[in-house]
Copies of this chain bind each other. A is one copy, B any other.
Amino acid sequence: MEITSLTNAKVKQWSKYKEKKHRDKDHKFLIEGEHLIEEAHKANLIECILIEQGKENMFPIYETYEVTRDILKKLSDSVSGTYIMAVCHMPNISSIDFGNKVIVLDDVQDPGNVGTIIRTAFSFGYTSIVLSSHSVDVYNEKVIRSTQGALFHMPIIRGDIMELLQELKQQGITLYATSLHEATPLQQTPKKTPCALIFGNEGNGVSKDVIDYSDHKVFIEMKTFDSLNVAVAAGICMYEFR
């Protein structure tokens, strides 16, 4: 099917998915570029494909709309533009299964950091991502891009962080919070499985309540500057606990 009008009802509907509230309401989100579409295809999340008129469609098994470059520009968030996008549905999480290696993000705000952490977690075989209510939305286009598609393969559980930590503890999962105070150096920390590694907000770190509730406090020893990006700190901890 071909769509050329920017005011077409479908285009209007899709463009709503640039906002979190509409994504949440319909459980749908947009992605762009071949690589992400390939990963979403593997995870069975694609609903339909939007492709620029005249371009070859590598995913003909899905319902496809041929659209103008202007329509893609309206729907896309990237500066450089794209010739292919997809509308996806969010994966169903019927029951909470954390698995035995959990990453917990306590109000991490930067989309690039959250996406990079999800990508690292999937690469090292972590089993789920838990997000506090005030963390950035993972279906934000920049988060998706930074995950390189890892997002589609990882269970994401979002909610009240204290309730979720309680649930983790009840399931016998040891909680490790990163903290700069009264903490054990990462290398000397005994690494148990199942475990949950907790990382905090870019400015404030892990919140006090969460640190107090955790079983262990961990820090990464530094020399001169004592300042690591949260995605780098998370990468180092995930590597050590892998």
Contact = CB atoms under 8 A, between A and B. Distances in A.
A28 B52 CA distance: 44
Q: Which 4 A-B pairs have the closest CB atoms?
A: A125-B223, A232-B235, A123-B225, A123-B222
A119 B227 contact: yes
Interface in A209-242: 220-229, 231-233, 235-236, 239, 242
A226 B149 CA distance: 12
Contacts of A221: 242
Interface of A: 112, 116, 119-120, 122-125, 146, 148, 150, 153, 220-229, 231-233, 235-236, 239, 242
Copies of this subunit: 2
A150 B228 contact: no
A225 B116 contact: no
A153 B225 CA distance: 10
Given A235-B236, A239-B236, A222 B124 contact: yes
A229 B227 contact: no
A130 to B, nearest CB: 19
Contacts of A119: 225, 227-229, 232
A2 to B, nearest CB: 33
A108 to B, nearest CB: 14
B120 A223 contact: no
Given A123-B224, A236-B239, 20 more contacts: A112-B112, A116-B229, A116-B232, A119-B228, A119-B232, A122-B225, A123-B223, A123-B226, A124-B222, A124-B223, A125-B222, A146-B229, A148-B225, A148-B227, A150-B225, A153-B224, A220-B239, A232-B235, A235-B235, A235-B236
A223 B153 CA distance: 13
A116 B224 CA distance: 15
Contacts of A232: 116, 119-120, 231-232, 235
Nearest to A240: B239
Contacts of A153: 224-225
